[in-house]
Amino acid sequence: MCSWFSFHFKTFINYSKFLVYVSCALSIWGDRMWHFALSVFLIELYGRNLLLTAVFGLVVAGSVLVFGVLIGDWIDRKPRNKVAHASLFLQNSSVAACCVVLMLVFSYQSELEGIWQGWLMVACYVAVIILADLANLASTALTITIQRDWIVVITGDNRSQLAGMNATIRRMDQVINIFAPLSVGQVMTWASNVIGCGFILGWNLVSLLVEFLFPSKFIREIHSCPTIDEFANMPKTLEGPEDPPSPLEAQQDMTSRQTVFLAGLGLAFLYTTVLGFDCITTGYAYTQGIGGSLLSLLMAISAFSGLVGTIPFTRLRRSYGLVHTGLISSCLHIGCLLLCVFSVFAPGSPFDLGIFSLSLSQNSSLSHEMLKENTVHVSPFERNINQPILPGRSTIHWTNNTVLMDGPQESNQPESYISIILLFSGVILARIGLWSFDLTVTQLLQENIADSERGTVNGVQCSMNYLMDLIHFILVILAPAPQQFGLLVFISIIFVIMGHTMYFVYAPRLLIGQNFIWCRTVTKGQKVRSGALIEDNKFRAVLVAVSNGEIDVWLEVEAQSGALA
Checking phi first, is residue 205 left (phi over 0); if not, alpha (psi -120 to 50) or beta?
Answer: alpha
Q: Residue 277's closest CA among 200, 184, 181?
A: 181
Other CB atoms within a 10 A radius of the CB of residue 36 amount to: 23
21 contacts 169 by C-beta, under 8 angstroms: yes
Q: Residue 134's closest CA among 33, 211, 25, 60?
A: 60
DSSP 110-143: HHHHTGGGGHHHHHHHHHHHHHHHHHHHHHHHHH
Please, what is the Cα angle at 101 between 54 and 184, to 5 degrees? 70
Residues facing residue 200 across a β-bridge = none
Whole-angstrom distance, CA of residue 452 vs CA of residue 236: 7
Q: Residue 132's closest CA among 83, 90, 89?
A: 90
List the chain domain ranges: 1-240, 245-357+391-502, 517-557
Average pLDDT over residues 406-434: 78
Architecture of the CATH domain 245-357+391-502: Up-down Bundle (1.20)
Label the pairing between strands 539-547 and 402-405. unpaired
Whole-angstrom distance, CA of residue 83 vs CA of residue 86: 5
| Highest mean pLDDT of the ranges 37-51, 295-309, 333-347, 357-371 | 333-347
Query: 379: burial class by Cβ within 10 Å (0-12, 13-18, 19+)?
Result: exposed
Cβ neighbors of 280 (< 8 A, separation 6 or more) are 274, 476, 488
pLDDT for the residue numbered 425: 93
pLDDT tens-digit readout, 77-88: 888 778 888 888
For residues 487 and 153, which has the higher predicted lDDT (pLDDT)? 487
Whole-angstrom distance, CA of residue 324 vs CA of residue 96: 45
Runs of H (alpha helix) within 270-405: 279-287, 292-320, 322-345, 354-373, 380-384
17 contacts 156 by C-beta, under 8 angstroms: no
pLDDT for the residue numbered 269: 94
Cβ neighbors of 347 (< 8 A, separation 6 or more) are 415, 416, 418, 419
Whole-angstrom distance, CA of residue 116 vs CA of residue 121: 9
Whole-angstrom distance, CA of residue 557 vs CA of residue 318: 20
pLDDT for the residue numbered 251: 52
Residues facing residue 547 across a β-bridge = 550
CATH of 1-240, one of 1.10.10, 2.40.50, 1.25.40, 1.20.1250: 1.20.1250
pLDDT tens-digit readout, 381-410: 333 333 333 333 333 333 344 444 444 444
φ, ψ of residue 379 to 5 degrees: the values are -80, 155
For residues 42 and 517, which has the higher predicted lDDT (pLDDT)? 42
Residue 517 banded pLDDT, cuts 50, 70, 90: very low
pLDDT for the residue numbered 137: 92
- Write down the mean pLDDT value for the chain: 72
Secondary structure element (H or E) that encloses residue 534, with its range: strand 533-535
The CA-atom distances, in angstroms, between 430 and each of 221, 283, 383 are 40, 20, 40
Q: Is the pLDDT of residue 8 over 90?
A: no
Residue 506 banded pLDDT, cuts 50, 70, 90: confident
pLDDT for the residue numbered 231: 39
The CA-atom distances, in angstroms, between 424 and each of 213, 473, 498 are 43, 20, 22
The distance of Cα 17 from the centroid of its chain, to the nearest Å, equals 22
pLDDT tens-digit readout, 294-306: 776 787 788 888 8
Residue 333 banded pLDDT, cuts 50, 70, 90: very high
Average pLDDT over residues 18-42: 83
Query: 1-240 and 245-357+391-502: same fold?
Result: yes
320 in helix, strand or coil? helix
Supply the angle between the helices 418-448 and 292-320 in degrees, to the nearest 10.
40
Whole-angstrom distance, CA of residue 484 vs CA of residue 246: 44
